[in-house]
Amino acid sequence: MANSIERFSTSERVLHWVVTASFFTLLLSGLGLYSRLFTGYFNLFGGGGNASLVHKVAGVIFFFSSLAMFLLHLRDVASFDRDDREWFAKGGGYLSRGENHFNIGKYNPGQKLFALFVGIATLVLGITGIFIWSPLSFSRWVVQLSLLLHGTMFVGAVMFVVVHVYLATIGNPGTIGAMLYGFVGRRWAKVHHPKWYREVTDDNP
Ligand code: HEM
């Protein structure tokens, strides 16, 4: 495919969709556990007991797959260079009407922050989840603090994921192909990630 560039390998994409499937399973099975307002969602799983069981199984899958995805991305998302700082200074171009051309690598700084947040949220949700799983085995304050952190991280994660899904689909046409088929168009790469484009091709104008 002369006009396409590989962005994600098959294993990277499978990992991303395992994280996504377990994330949405956790969301649906966890809503009723989070608040009485949402206990209607238990019906999707045939009752509260089943929803709780599904939540625990999906939690283990999410924890390990998301942690693996985070560690695989870590080298690409953990550092911010001068070009990234310029992106921050100009609000990623989202705050102005004119065209902005940022010299962005594989991920833009917004994507880096999202990936770092997901990594931290995974650890917090997983560790607090252990205390909530077996509440009688730990002191009361540990379980209560865990419930507070688990709920707060859950709300934060949902908000970030809503923005992520929008930007990866309708917000930036051409992006979803990267996660579905592994490839993006050359034009997309030049426009959104020019530094990465130059790194992975011999196109060095
Ligand atoms: C229907 C839901 C989702 C869609 C359509 C989607 C789509 C995508 C796409 C297209 C990319 C590649 C972006 C690029 O090449 O620049 C991506 C990357 C990524 N996704 Fe998702 N995603 C979804 C759900 C999730 C969830 C639930 C998580 C984690 C909780 C997640 C975490 C990530 C991370 C960490 C990256 C790499 C950094 C980034 O591009 O922001 N995704 N996703």
Question: Please, which pLDDT band fits residue 101 given cuts at 50, 70 and 90?
Answer: confident
The per-residue pLDDT for range 5-39, each reduced to its tens digit, is 999 999 999 999 999 999 999 999 999 999 999 99
Query: Measured in angstroms, how far is the CA atom of residue 115 from the centroid of ligand 1?
Result: 9
| Listed residue (189, 160, 159) closest to 172, CA to CA | 189
Residue at 205 is within a domain = no
Q: Is residue 80 part of a domain?
A: yes
- Domain interval for residue 101: 4-200
| pLDDT per position as a tens digit, 51-69 | 999 999 999 999 999 999 9
- Ligand 1 centroid, distance to 166 Cα (angstroms): 10
The Cα–Cα gap between 121 and 118 comes to 5
CB of 162 shorter than 6 A to ligand 1: no
**This prediction's pTM:** 0.94
Element (H, E) at 101: none
Which CATH number do you get for residue 89? 1.20.950.20
The minimum-distance atom of ligand 1 relative to the CA of 168 is 10
Average pLDDT of the chain to the nearest whole number: 95
Residue 164 within any structural domain of the chain? yes
- The DSSP secondary structure of 132-184, one letter per residue, reads HHSGGGS-HHHHHHHHHHHHHHHHHHHHHHHHHHHHHTTSSTTSHHHHHTSEE
Q: Say which DSSP state 4 is in.
A: E
Q: Is residue 165 part of a domain?
A: yes
Arithmetic mean of pLDDT, 79-91: 93
Q: Nearest C-alpha to atom 31 of ligand 1 is from which residue?
A: 20
Smallest CA separation from ligand 1 atom 4, residue: 165
If you average pLDDT over residues 181-188, what whole number do you get?
A: 96
88 is a domain residue? yes
- Please give the angle made by the CA atoms of 45, 37 and 21, to the nearest 5 degrees: 40
